[in-house]
Chains A and B, each alone.
Chain A
Amino acid sequence: MNASLDRSTVQAPRILPCGDCALSVEFGDTIDPEINGKVLALDDALRVAAVPGILETVPTYRSLMVHFDPTMADYAGLSQRLLSEAQALTSQTVAGRRWKVPVVYGGAYGSDLDDVAERHCMSPSRLIELHARAVYRIYMIGFMPGFAYLGGLDPQLATPRRVQPRAKIPAGSIIIGGAQAAVASIECPSGWHLLGRTPVRSYAPDRDPVFLFSAGDEIVFDPIDEARWAALERAAEAGEPVAEQVAP
């Protein structure tokens, strides 16, 4: 994935066939809040409408994947309907919920923090300040259950990925790669840089809700010191969300 942050004009939506069981409604080819807003607006509209034959919709950065049953849905009618709905949409600029996510930066919790700071010729504390003052938008959840792709990283912190990806990073890793940021949900391989770690589990199979975040939500990071980690970790283990919903 090459996350280009170039702003481009929003293109007319188009339908891309994805075999006999799915189609993609594409709104653009860049990472852009307005494009993503349209994806989420169409997703909302389709979930409300419960169109016969549609099995599942999956929002991503710039397009909405629509899974359907080819033996039930009429493709011509379905694609025409989706196209006209997509054209009529206004971007969903109203953000979803805003979450405050506690993070322990650096040390054993974010082993790349010092290196990344040095690369950008800034102090680790300046890096933490820049990373923690932004408001991030969850563009999509993907890669692993609950893995949140974030937009909104300060451009000064854009950092090419590691040459050698790690085979495993811990659950809750707060990471950056290229111009993107993310909250890793479970242990997974990664070529991104580890800045810190949160006790928040965005995916917890035995908790209700199983998934904490949705595409369209916002995240702000709350730097905490190591002393608070243990208590929050215990609370998260016991099924507490630990992330605080601060808006709306």
Chain B
Amino acid sequence: MTALIVKSCGPMTSLQDHGRYGYQRFGVSPSGAMDRRGLALANALVGNPPWTAAIEFVHLGGILSASGGDLHIAVAGADCALKVDGKPVPPRSTATLEDGQTAEIGPARSGTFAYLAVAGGFSAPPQLGSQSLHLRSRMGGLEGRPLQAGDLLECRETAHPGAHMHLPADFAQEDGPIRVMLGPQDDYFTPEAIRAFLESEFTVSSHADRMGFQLTGPTLAHAKGFNIVSDGIVEGHIQVPGSGQPIVLMRDRQTAGGYPKIATVISADLDRLAQVRPGSPIRFRAVDRDEAVAAARAFKAWVESLPAALIPLRWTPTTEDLLAANLIGGTVHALDPVLPE
């Protein structure tokens, strides 16, 4: 049996796949990878289907070792250095972790959520069709909890030839304001509040986790109260409680809630929002459905194009690769806030 052994990792490290769908009517949050783009890329590099469960690291990295055989691994998502037995692996590339070797994932230099995929995937039993951890309901993951030092993650047998691949260019991601569609309850807000929402800068507060990102910024005034009879919640909903400070609901959101929702982040921009760090500024821009759907199609097309876009990894990395891969030791800025849970 081939396995990955966790030597150390941050407190919120967990298994995540595409999410647990079909059970929201029973109160089950979908959860799933905060950055699907990163998940899909890490999986493509090891020859897996895009939504195979991977290890999600939150801000901090970790150290893992292979046991019982060789493993092919790849890391994507937040910008993290990957070293195998101390040797840097170029970004967006497959690496081999031989039996007994150690992989070190550095802390995120930018972004928050990084994914380590292993060829074949992990054999942790899925719960309600998904391996994703939803911590608040202790569902999925490894025994319904985050990973910790000493954990042994059994890996599935794989018939992959195990070529080392590399993606030359990352997804050309929008870098403007986060795109939203107004509604479902924008009529609960004053016109001034809508304008303030779309024209002001907000800051992602330290209260940002897999469930939701609390923002700070101008107070958004409700036109007719802030309590509504609970209705359904989708990922990306931006709810505004009595404080007037918006909260973007993320993958671990509840299935229903009772605050008015001023707008909804379009699906294609949720990954990008997930990687905005606490303390960073963000802005919103309202788009129409056509633009949102075009962006969703572009993302889907990118995921589908990934296997063909990979090229064999060159064994002599260019200076550029080395510069990108090298990390002044994987330091973390002393002022970087640690993501709470």
Contact = CB atoms under 8 A, between A and B. Distances in A.
B190 to A, nearest CB: 19
Contacts of B233: 65
A215 B25 contact: yes
Interface stretch (A50-58, A82-90, A229-237): A50-58
B230 A142 contact: yes
A58 B232 contact: yes
Nearest to B184: A16
B24 A58 contact: yes
A1 B229 contact: yes
Interface in B234-252: 234, 236-237
Interface in A2-51: 2-4, 16-22, 24, 26, 29-31, 43
A146 to B, nearest CB: 6
- Name the residue in B256, B261, B289 with the highest tally of chain A Cβ atoms < 10 Å from its Cβ: B256
Interface residues of B, number: 49
Interface in A109-146: 140-146
A17 B27 contact: no
A5 to B, nearest CB: 10
Contact of B137 (A4, A19, A56, A144): A144
B27 A20 contact: no
A170 to B, nearest CB: 14
B296 A21 contact: yes
Interface string B96-114: 0000000000000000000
Interface string A52-89: 00011111111111010011000100000000000000
A71 B266 CA distance: 13
Task: Give chain A's interface residue range (CB within 8 Å of chain B).
Answer: 35 or more
Given A2-B228, A210-B128, A203 B26 contact: yes
For chain B, what secondary structure do more than half of its interface residues adopt (helix, strand, loop), or is it mixed?
mixed
B130 interface: no
Contacts of A211: 23, 26
A18 B234 contact: yes
Contacts of A210: 26, 128
A29 B27 CA distance: 21
A105 interface: no
Contacts of A205: 127, 139
B148 interface: no
Contacts of A62: 229, 231
A19 B266 CA distance: 6
B183 A16 contact: yes
B234 A65 contact: yes
- Name the residue in B22, B25, B184, B234 with the highest tally of chain A Cβ atoms < 10 Å from its Cβ: B25
A20 B289 contact: yes
A18 B228 contact: no
B27 A185 contact: yes
Contact of A60 (B139, B185, B230, B236): B230
A192 interface: no
B154 to A, nearest CB: 20
Enumerate the 5 nearest inter-chain pairs by beta-carbon distance, A residue then B residue, closest first.
Answer: A65-B232, A1-B258, A2-B227, A19-B264, A16-B184
Given A21-B296, A26-B184, 17 more contacts: A1-B229, A2-B229, A16-B184, A17-B181, A17-B183, A18-B232, A20-B267, A20-B268, A43-B25, A58-B256, A60-B232, A62-B231, A67-B24, A71-B293, A145-B23, A146-B26, A205-B139
